Each structure stands twice: as structure tokens, then as C-alpha cells.
């Protein structure tokens, strides 16, 4: 009798964990060698004064590799413009993640929501390591799966590694926000976040088809079904999901450090007391995401002053607008630039409270090639996405 490879027990244990609510995916997870798709990755250096990463490059089939590959965690494979495959031993990466192998539990959860039926054509947006394409191909057949990524190296590496264990879905290096390799799909799942929802996806989605995606700079996960009128309708899901935004270059645009320099301690052109308590936007994430929907593109930063424990929140925009809100015994808001960003945040909070602080998963999605939006339960508030 042929002895099973070492990785199958680990993959089976992972499948037991992540497919409890989606048993139809157990066989695919159990039989997909994730360790072959992610042989090296970046690991964040804790307490680093800069956003610094160290290379993890364990020996092939080692216990360390199998443990990492079959733990339900995201493995960052690319930092800034540098893929872990191209890093030298001991090299450190700097910057934000630009590609990863998403945690398997989230992939399974989204694929379960996608509800693919045998014979349907699937578009997997964001090839990354190739893991989601491998799961779809294992369960439904290579010929029904197309996976796209903007990065030619990611596509070629995934193609080679997938073929190494017999998987041959169609993989293409294209900008998924533009034209797609084919014009008709039954299911579209994106492991990158978008805003706007690309018109090409909605033109390519057949009537009765389904799209599962997330809104950029939020963790709002949308599931929507295409109608015969060319509009996909659905809802925000109750469980959040965070993905990197689609990109066209090797790295994302730089952060607004120049605006932050102005906003860090400068006296504002407008100085006043805040309206109510200064929110912790990392804990009050529904407010932060509503603000992003209403006022897109604002960068948020926060810190605590070590001398007296005061908390400070900054809002920064590319047009030079900024706000700094400080709590403490005498809370104060400073604002500068062409827009008053803290005023905008307070308007969003006020309107949300007037609408009963509705849960974000009560938002309805209406997605069309002519324009997409999220709509509040009473239809009084509409957010273009």
C-alpha cells in the first residue's frame, strides 16, 4: 500500500476546521497541497519602528513549512515590489503587503457563498498564490476556472506550481478592472477589494450569476445575483473580509506623509471643540467604513501621547485637507486645507445615529455597469461604489 504524503494529514486537519459550515469543500481542501503554492513568505517583525518584514524560507517538506501552510492564516508573499521568491536569505522587506495567500477559512467561506454549481464557469479575481483557483479546479474541473492577476510573475509562478500537482485552470495576467479574458461567467469571486465595482465584471456576469467581492478601504463583503435587467442585487454580509485593493503598478501609491507633516502638530485654520466624544475609529469600525463610503479616500491615523495618555486621531486627504482630534480634559479639533474632514465625519455619525445606528449588513447592493451603489434600509442614503 502506498504511504500518504506527510502533508495530507495536515491538510485534512485544516479541512476539518475550515469547512465545518461548508462540508462540500472538505475534499478540495484536504487534497490541495498549499505548501507547494507558498514555499516562502514574509513574516512581520514585531515592534519594528518601521513596517519591516523578515523572510520565512523553511526547507521543503519541513515541519515549519507544513505547520504554516496548513494553519488557517494569511501568508504574505509580496511586500512592496519584492516577492518572497526573489528575496535573498536574511533580506528584509519594507512596506505594505502587495500579495498574499489568503487564510483558507475565508476563501472557503466566500466560495461557499458563491454557490458554484457543476458546469458553471468561475472567474477568480486575484490569483495570488493560486490557492483559490486550485480549490475551484479541484472541485469543479480545471476547464471551468479562469483566474486573473495584474502581476505576470504571480500568474506564471501559480501556473507552474499548480501544474506540479496536476491542476491546469486558465490563468491570465490582466488588469481585472478592465476587459476580462472572456465575456461570460456564471460566478465571480474577488480576493482583492474594488471601488468602483468594475463594469466589465457586471457585463460578463450572466443572468442568474453571482458575484462575491469587497469594497476597497472597508471590510464590507457583498454577495449579489445578476438579474435579467443587467443589475446585480444583493446585500452586505454580516461577517467582514479585508483584502488588498486592486493595483496597476508594482506597488501601491505612497501614503500621505506630506499631509501628515502639516497635520501632526500645526494649529488648524479652524479650531473648535468636537461634537461629542472623539471616536476610536479602529474599534468603531462601522462608523469608519460609513465615513469611507460617504467620503472616500481619507487616510486615518491614530496615536496616544506618552506623556499624558491623550489619544489623537488624524484624517488626511490627497487634496491637502486634514483634521486632528485630541481627547483629554479639553478635547479639541484642528482642521486645515480646502475641506473640513472632521465636520464630514461628524455629519456621518449624526446621520447614522438619527437612522438608529443600523447594522452595515442591512445595506442593500445594486450593481450595474452604469454605476453601483449601497443603499440604507430606508433608502434615504445611497453610497456610490
| Interior/surface letters 76-107, b for 16+ CB within 10 angstroms, e for the rest | bbbbbebbbeebeeeeebebebbbbbbbbbbb
Q: Is residue 118 part of a domain?
A: no
Kindly state whether residue 340 falls inside one of the protein's structural domains: yes
The whole-number pLDDT of residue 44 equals: 94
Residue ranges of alpha helices (H) inside the chain are 7-18, 26-30, 34-37, 63-69, 104-114, 131-140, 152-163, 199-204, 257-265, 285-294, 341-354
Q: Give a yes or no: residue 213 inside a domain.
A: no
How much helix, strand and coil, in percent to the nearest 5, is found in the chain? 30, 25, 45
The span from the first CA to the last CA of the chain, in angstroms, equals 56
Question: Is residue 334 included in any domain, yes or no?
Answer: yes
Q: What per-residue confidence (pLDDT) applies to 255?
A: 83
Please give the pLDDT value at position 309.
Answer: 81
Which tens digits make up the pLDDT trace of 143-167? 999 999 999 999 999 999 999 999 9
**Strands 52-56 and 75-79, sheet pairing:** unpaired
By CB atoms closer than 10 A (0-12, 13-18, 19+), residue 226 is buried
pLDDT of residue 1: 40
- Catalytic one of 30, 99, 129, 321: 99
CB neighbours of residue 265 within 10 Å = 9
Per-residue model confidence as pLDDT tens digits over 270-323 = 999 999 999 999 899 999 999 999 999 999 999 988 778 889 999 999 999 999
The neighbouring-strand residues paired with 225 are 210, 233
Residue 210 grid cell: 453571482
Within a domain: residue 318? yes
CATH classification at residue 293: 3.30.160
pLDDT of residue 46: 87
Task: Tell me whether residue 93 is in a domain.
Answer: no
In a domain, 368, yes or no: no
Q: Is 101 a catalytic residue?
A: no
Q: How many domains does the chain have?
A: 1
Q: How is residue 255 written as a grid cell?
A: 501614503
Residue 51 has a pLDDT of: 83
Given this model, what pLDDT does residue 4 score? 60
pLDDT at 249: 66
Parallel, antiparallel, or unpaired: how do β-strands 382-384 and 373-375 relate? antiparallel
What is the pTM assigned to this prediction? 0.94
DSSP 339: S
φ/ψ of 193, rounded to 5, equals -95, 150
Enter the C-alpha cell of residue 52. Answer: 519591516
Residue with cell 438579474: 227
Counting as low any pLDDT under 70, the low residues of the chain are 1-4, 49, 249-252
Residue 196, preceding peptide bond in cis (omega within 30° of 0): yes
What is the three-class DSSP state of 374? strand
User: In terms of residue numbers, what domain contains 296?
Assistant: 257-354
In a domain, 81, yes or no: no
CA 202, 205, 210, 211 dihedral sign is: negative
Amino acid at each position: 500500500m502506498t504511504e500518504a504524503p506527510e502533508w495530507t494529514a495536515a491538510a485534512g486537519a485544516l479541512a476539518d476546521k475550515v469547512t465545518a459550515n461548508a462540508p462540500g469543500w472538505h475534499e478540495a481542501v484536504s487534497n490541495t497541497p498549499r505548501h507547494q503554492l507558498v514555499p516562502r513568505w514574509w513574516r512581520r517583525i514585531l515592534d519594528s519602528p518601521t513596517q519591516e518584514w523578515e523572510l520565512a524560507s523553511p526547507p521543503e517538506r519541513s515541519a515549519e513549512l507544513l505547520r504554516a501552510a496548513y494553519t488557517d492564516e494569511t501568508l504574505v508573499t509580496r511586500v512592496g515590489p519584492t516577492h518572497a521568491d526573489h528575496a535573498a536569505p536574511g533580506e528584509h522587506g519594507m512596506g505594505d503587503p502587495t500579495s498574499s495567500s489568503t487564510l483558507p477559512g475565508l476563501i472557503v467561506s466566500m466560495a461557499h457563498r458563491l454557490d458554484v454549481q457543476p458546469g458553471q464557469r468561475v472567474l477568480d479575481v486575484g490569483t495570488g498564490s493560486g490557492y483559490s483557483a486550485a480549490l475551484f479546479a479541484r472541485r469543479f474541473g480545471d476547464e471551468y476556472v479562469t483566474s486573473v492577476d495584474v502581476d505576470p510573475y504571480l500568474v506564471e509562478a501559480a501556473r507552474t506550481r499548480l501544474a506540479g500537482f496536476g491542476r491546469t485552470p486558465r490563468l491570465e495576467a490582466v488588469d481585472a478592472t478592465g476587459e476580462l479574458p472572456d465575456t461570460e461567467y456564471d460566478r465571480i469571486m474577488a480576493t482583492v477589494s474594488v471601488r468602483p465595482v468594475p463594469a466589465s465584471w457586471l457585463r460578463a456576469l450572466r443572468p442568474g450569476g453571482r458575484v462575491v467581492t469587497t469594497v476597497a478601504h472597508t471590510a464590507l463583503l457583498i454577495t449579489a445575483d445578476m438579474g435579467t435587467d443587467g443589475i446585480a442585487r444583493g446585500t452586505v454580509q454580516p461577517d467582514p473580509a479585508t483584502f488588498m485593493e486592486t493595483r496597476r503598478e508594482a506597488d501601491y501609491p505612497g501614503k500621505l506623509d506630506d499631509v501628515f507633516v502639516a497635520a501632526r502638530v500645526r494649529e488648524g485654520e479652524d479650531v473648535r471643540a468636537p461634537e461629542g466624544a472623539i471616536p476610536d475609529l479602529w474599534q468603531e469600525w462601522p462608523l469608519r467604513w460609513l465615513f469611507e463610503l460617504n467620503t472616500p479616500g481619507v487616510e486615518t491615523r491614530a496615536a496616544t501621547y506618552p506623556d499624558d495618555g491623550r489619544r489623537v486621531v488624524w484624517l488626511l486627504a490627497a487634496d491637502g485637507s486634514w483634521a486632528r482630534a485630541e481627547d483629554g480634559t479639553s478635547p479639541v479639533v484642528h482642521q486645515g486645507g480646502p475641506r473640513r474632514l472632521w465636520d464630514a465625519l461628524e455629519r456621518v455619525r449624526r446621520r447614522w445615529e438619527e437612522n438608529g445606528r443600523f447594522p452595515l449588513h442591512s445595506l442593500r447592493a445594486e450593481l450595474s455597469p452604469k454605476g453601483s451603489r449601497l443603499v440604507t434600509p430606508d433608502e434615504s442614503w445611497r453610497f456610490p461604489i
